[in-house]
Amino acid sequence: MTQLAPDAAPKARAAKPAKDRASVLYDIPGPRARRVNLIVSVVFGLLLVLLAWYVLTTLAGKNQLVAEKWTPLVDPQNWTTYLLPGLWATMEAALLSVVIALPIGALLGIARLSDHAWVRWPAAVIVEFFRAIPVIILMLFAFEFWFLSFGTASPFAGVVIGLVLYNGSVLAEVFRAGILAVPKGQTEAAEAIGLRKGQIMTGILLPQAITSMLPAVVSQLVVIVKDTALGGILVGYVELRRAANTSASNYGNLLQTYVLIAVVYIVINLLLTSLAGYLEKRLRTRRGGRTRVAVTPVDGQTDLLGRQDVTVVDVPGVDEFKKK
Amino acid sequence: MTVQLTFWSAIGSFVLGVLLAAMRVSPVPLLRGFAGTWVNVIRNIPLTLIIIVMAQVIANQLGVRLAQREAGVNPQVFLDNQNFRLAVVGFIIYTSTFVCEAVRAGINTVPPGQAEAARAIGLKFTQVLGIVVLPQAVRAVIAPLGSVLIALTKNTTVASAIGVAEVALLMNTLIENEADKLTAVFIVVAAGFIVLTLPTGLFFGWLAKRKAVRR
């Protein structure tokens, strides 16, 4: 550490404040540290190359790298027959679910904040109940229930109802966090000028809650898109994963097709994640003062009691950035 | 079966998740980049896809064996073992990325001064991380880890995709046999999950309070 050039470190730190978090754990590397880092890099890089080589030779040995297994992926007929309808089915279920779940979530979220215990408690029970149950169980129940009620099997209804029940509850928590995140002074001020409860909610709290929870809703879409794949298992909804399976049996290229749709899922979800990040940034810079934003982690990890899955994070507003 | 799946997957995910988190904050750019890419890629793939790939591609096409096929024993035993282990590996791969993100958030809660002090007395990066930072980071994220565990418990139902006899598959069979008792079956299964997850949530909430590092 003594070999550190006297003025190199502060300069380097000042130059990249964003990197500060990482460098809290280690110094700007000196000659010895750089040597160690290089060795670790080379060893790890070699391991990665070895692994890649092993995987590739194994695949080649199993005849997985031949051209005819990969060409169906760019065959237009494969796309129009299997993959695009599957992708559409996935998006259809995801979008419809979120559109239905949003108002339900809003109602439940508001109900949980009600002054009346007889409204608050049932809403709390509903939210906690549906959050505690795996989506696939909800889908299965909705599917069978639909069948018993209407006499027709509708995998689509099963998937959408299952997703709505689950995500409605999760979004209810997001709404609740969003409403609670509005500074208390606003409600007090509204009461002082004589607004009624309903007016405060619709005129003051909800609009702010909705903007602040937008990023969380978009991140929740990632969870919903991933969860549509559950519909292909027990309920038999032909979404992207299941459609890909059929396509793969047709062309005999299971590995290749799954690699492709994994990439499709990753691209869709990364786009959604970056959209959420963009919205968050916009909301942060648009408002002055301290803005609080409700966020959920990407997996919709739910907890029956703790509300860690919907955390309210303080985000410094414009003023604070200016101060720095 | 649900409990067994959860148990083994939880242990594996925790170990791999902490390892990934350590890689993500390490001074070596290659390690950091690899762990970062890995986490972002895996997190965005549906768990269903991972589990099915484990069974259909890794096991059936590439011939990876995770269980012994013994002569004279019913081949179903081999299949059950194999699928169970494949499912566990799949869950570990998926869940560890969420553990990694939780632990990384925990690392950010440790005051920088501590790491600086640890470096000042001459500890190396691995020591700073292993002795000073990680223990505190893990204690800070006990509650979020509880959420991950609850999510994992619910996710184990996905193993029905490759025929592991857990609750979702059981429920499916039950409904097929006794369609008129649909609601009853659902209520029982739902109650089962509440019994599994409610104490977990309570326990982790209690543990988080108890182990919290007061600052």
ipTM above 0.90, yes or no: no
CB pair distance less than 8 Å for A137 and B167: yes
Rounded Cα–Cα distance for residues A96 and A86 (Å): 15
CA dist B21 and A201 (Å) reads: 42
pLDDT, tens digit (0-9, with 9 covering 90-100), for A235-247: 878 888 888 888 8
Residues B121-137, mean pLDDT to the nearest whole number: 86
Inter-chain residue contact B29 with A41, CB threshold 8 Å: yes
What stretch of H or E contains A314? strand A311-315
Residue A286, pLDDT above cutoff 90: no
As given in the structure block, the two tokens for residue B110 are 């440790």
pLDDT level of residue A4 (50, 70, 90 thresholds): very low
Confidence label for A317 from pLDDT (cuts 50, 70 and 90)? very low
In contact, A290 and A317? CB cutoff 8 Å: yes
* Chain A nearest C-alpha distance from B162 (Å): 9
Q: How many CB atoms within 10 Å of residue A232?
A: 27
Return mean pLDDT, chain A.
78
Domains with residue ranges and CATH for chain A? 73-286 (1.10.3720.10)
Q: How far is CA A315 from CA A188, A218, A285, A295, in A?
A: 23, 18, 10, 11
pLDDT score of B96: 92
| pLDDT tens by residue, A170-224 | 899 888 888 888 888 888 999 999 888 888 888 888 888 888 888 888 888 888 9
pLDDT over 70, % of chain A:
80
* Per-residue model confidence (pLDDT) at position B92: 93
| A229 pLDDT above the threshold of 70 | yes
Inter-chain Cβ pairs, chain A and chain B, closer than 8 A? 189
Between positions 111 and 170 of A, the ones with CB within 8 A of B are 129, 132-137, 140-141, 144-145, 148
Mean pLDDT of chain B: 84
Q: Is it the case that residue A47 has pLDDT exceeding 90? A: yes
Confidence (pLDDT) at B206: 86
Candidates A33, A232, A304; nearest CB to B197: A304
Q: Per-residue confidence at A314, pLDDT binned at 50, 70, 90?
A: very low
Per-residue pLDDT, averaged over B209-213, amounts to 78
DSSP for residue B121: T
Q: What is the pLDDT of residue A290?
A: 47
Give the Cα separation of B161 and A219 in Å (integer).
25
Answer yes or no: do B129 and A25 touch at CB < 8 A: yes
